[in-house]
Structure 1
Amino acid sequence: MSAPPVSAPATRSGIALKIIGTPSAGPLLVLIAFCVIFSLTNPRFLATHNISIILQQTVIIGTLAIGQTLVILTAGIDLAVGAICVLGTILAGKLVNLGYDPVLSMAFAVLVCTIAGFAAGGLISGLRLPPFIVTLGILGILTAALRLISQGGAFPVRDAFLGWTGNTFKLGGFVLTFGVVIMLLLYVVVWYLLNETKWGRHVYATGNNPEAARLVGIPVRRHLMSVYLLAGFIYGIAAWLALGRIPNADPNALQTANLDSITAVVIGGTSLFGGRGGLVGTLIGALIVGVLRNGLTLAGIDPLWQDLVTGVLVIVAVALDQLSRRRR
């Protein structure tokens, strides 16, 4: 006896429930709600010029959040994300100002950032040290090293290639930078790696239960190493985007980048306990932070209150994730 056909409404409701059940559904609803609220309170919010500004302001933290997502998916955390990025800007700027080829200078800076990620991954996977301690130590080392390399002060970087990512072009009524395009391309590439390759499935398995992953034959240590290596490379690309955004190498820059990137990842629905989440939510989380700060700025709200609201969002996101884990 054949099974009764599934009705169209039932199929549509099933698809709707599946969409609502995805980790990025909640953050997307929050983003839409903020956009509606700010557009009602200030008509300038939805202007193409203002939306372009939000996208441009999201570039650095949005890119750093890609690497942070990879690390958090393995149940780790990276407190050196901002320092590694600044290291890339200082090295590239110094070399160019000394007369070296800008392309080779930027490539060397990205390589050093990748090596920094490799070092963190080696200590975490090889010696099994806690990611919090390792990245905190690297943060302290790089903070001192950056001041020594730059001799304590900021300096301008006026090179066409290093600043190219800040060049603008028009797309309809929007004014975008090449940095925005590079950031979105990175999201697409890393999303593909996480969702369509065996490597990505192993990353999720490692974050969900490393011991179980090891017992089924997944090389956990090697995957941890590859995650931090790729994250370091992405931080190096973020350094190039940062020089396009602000043509200045400053050892004191991006001091809150580690917290901002973690905020984007957590608000985007990625679990701090590993194994759950993804890059779509991270991009939405980065946009939420950008929209929130932009909307509150247009409303004349003090930046300290903006930080307060952002902190509340992080706590709420982590609390909801914990409740969800307990329910499962």
Structure 2
Amino acid sequence: MNTTASKLPPLATLGPFIALLLACGFFALQSDRFLSAQNFALILQQVMVVGVIAIGQTLVILTAGIDLSCGMVMALGGIVMTKVASDYGLSAPVAIACGMAVTTLFGMVNGLLVTKVKLPPFIVTLGTLNIAFAATQLYSGAQTITDIPGGMTVLGNTFQVGGTAVVWGALLMLALYVAMWFFLRETAPGRHIYAVGNNPEATRLTGIPTDRVLLFVYMLAGVFYGIAALLSVARTGAGDPNAGQTENLDAISAVVLGGTSLFGGRGVIL
């Protein structure tokens, strides 16, 4: 079955990298600091939140779906983490678990509506986007939450590599990309994701439970939105109810520019 990333047309695989190399070459000519280690470390720090959201978005798009709710679900997760820690004095690990439970729950709701109610992913996630936005504003009182335990900002701290300050959160993002690259290429569940996106009916006839695969994908995407929420809190030191308003489009753009087809079944995580 034509379900693996190796079946991608060469241009779809190499095109984004060629464009990236050309862009890097242009900016390198404009400034001798562009290719410095410090600049790359700063770029990683700036993109780590959207980068992790894009992992979850990639999984959804590989199944020929789309998740418009990703940014606001991430924002809600960050508000839940910081709010329960601030109001109830919960420790950082417990508060983080609460936030990630909420983002995973939203993923489960998305998955159930897509698989059981048979609603289009666009409509489903547009609805949950608005629900997440309303919940974020109501629960936070539209106020930024800054009274949080120090444990929530650990991933915003830096460590030195050859005199360059690198954020721990950026290192986590890179590790997640490597892990998901291995998952999609080398495991049966990863190949099932490609199969569902490529031809869901044929996949179902082979005995693969397509509904379970889709539900798993949306819930796993919710987990990644929760991790992104933690990185957002760690980077800013606060829970921001206005975060996530553009991250959905940023993440979708990153996924498409990275070579993943919006029609599903084709794409790579790295």
TM-score w.r.t. the length of structure 2 is 0.94
Matching residue of 2:94: 104
Matching residue of 2:3: none
In structure 2, relative to structure 1, the CA distance for the partners of 1:172 and 1:22 (3 Å cut) is farther
In structure 2, relative to structure 1, the CA distance for the partners of 1:157 and 1:33 (3 Å cut) is farther
How far did residue 193 of structure 1 move?
1.5
Aligned 8 A contact 2:143 2:240 in 1: yes
1:57 aligns with 2:46: yes
Structure 1: 4+ residue segments shifted above 3 A: none
How far did residue 274 of structure 1 move?
0.2
Question: Residues 187-202 of structure 1 correspond to what in structure 2 (within 5 A)?
Answer: 187-202=177-192
1:139 aligns with 2:112: no
Per-residue displacement from partner, 1:49-90 (whole Å, max 9, x unpaired)?
Answer: 222111111100100000000000000000000111111110
- Could you tell me which runs of 5 or more consecutive residues in structure 1 were left unpaired when the two chains were aligned: 1-17, 281-328
Per-residue displacement from partner, 1:206-247 (whole Å, max 9, x unpaired)?
Answer: 001111111111111010000001000111011111111111
Aligned 8 A contact 1:156 1:248 in 2: yes
Question: Residues 61-100 of structure 1 correspond to what in structure 2 (within 5 A)?
Answer: 61-98=50-87, 99-100=89-90
Q: Secondary structure of 1:253's match?
A: coil
Work out the CA distance in 2 between the residues paired with 1:79 and 1:258.
Answer: 6
Aligned 8 A contact 2:8 2:267 in 1: no
Work out the CA distance in 1 between the residues paired with 2:36 and 2:54.
Answer: 26
1:168 to 143, 158, 168: 158
1:48 aligns with 2:56: no
1:130 aligns with 2:130: no
Work out the CA distance in 2 between the residues paired with 1:120 and 1:139.
Answer: 10
- Larger RCO of the pair (alpha carbons < 8 Å, separation 6+): 2
Q: Which amino acid aligns with 1:101?
A: S
How far did residue 132 of structure 1 move?
0.3
Work out the CA distance in 2 between the residues paired with 1:220 and 1:158.
Answer: 41
How far did residue 175 of structure 1 move?
1.7
TM-score w.r.t. the length of structure 1 is 0.77
Aligned 8 A contact 1:19 1:25 in 2: no
Matching residue of 1:37: 26
1:150 to 140, 151, 173: 140
Q: Secondary structure of 1:248's match?
A: coil
Q: Secondary structure of 2:250's match?
A: helix
Work out the CA distance in 1 between the residues paired with 2:9 and 2:197.
Answer: 23
Q: Which amino acid aligns with 1:28?
A: F
RMSD: 1.6
Work out the CA distance in 2 between the residues paired with 1:37 and 1:55.
Answer: 19
Aligned 8 A contact 1:157 1:249 in 2: no
How far did residue 20 of structure 1 move?
8.8
Q: Secondary structure of 1:279's match?
A: coil
1:261 to 227, 244, 251: 251
Q: Which amino acid aligns with 2:158?
A: T
If you compute each CA radius of gyration, which structure gives the higher value, 1 or 2?
A: 1
Work out the CA distance in 1 between the residues paired with 2:237 and 2:255.
Answer: 27
How far did residue 143 of structure 1 move?
0.8
Aligned 8 A contact 2:155 2:231 in 1: yes
Per-residue displacement from partner, 1:154-180 (whole Å, max 9, x unpaired)?
Answer: 221442110001000111243211101
Matching residue of 2:4: none
Question: Percent identity among equivalent residues?
Answer: 48
- Could you tell me which runs of 5 or more consecutive residues in structure 2 were left unpaired when the two chains were aligned: 1-6
Question: Residues 195-234 of structure 1 correspond to what in structure 2 (within 5 A)?
Answer: 195-234=185-224
Matching residue of 1:9: none
Work out the CA distance in 2 between the residues paired with 1:52 and 1:188.
Answer: 18
Matching residue of 2:234: 244
In structure 2, relative to structure 1, the CA distance for the partners of 1:19 and 1:40 (3 Å cut) is farther
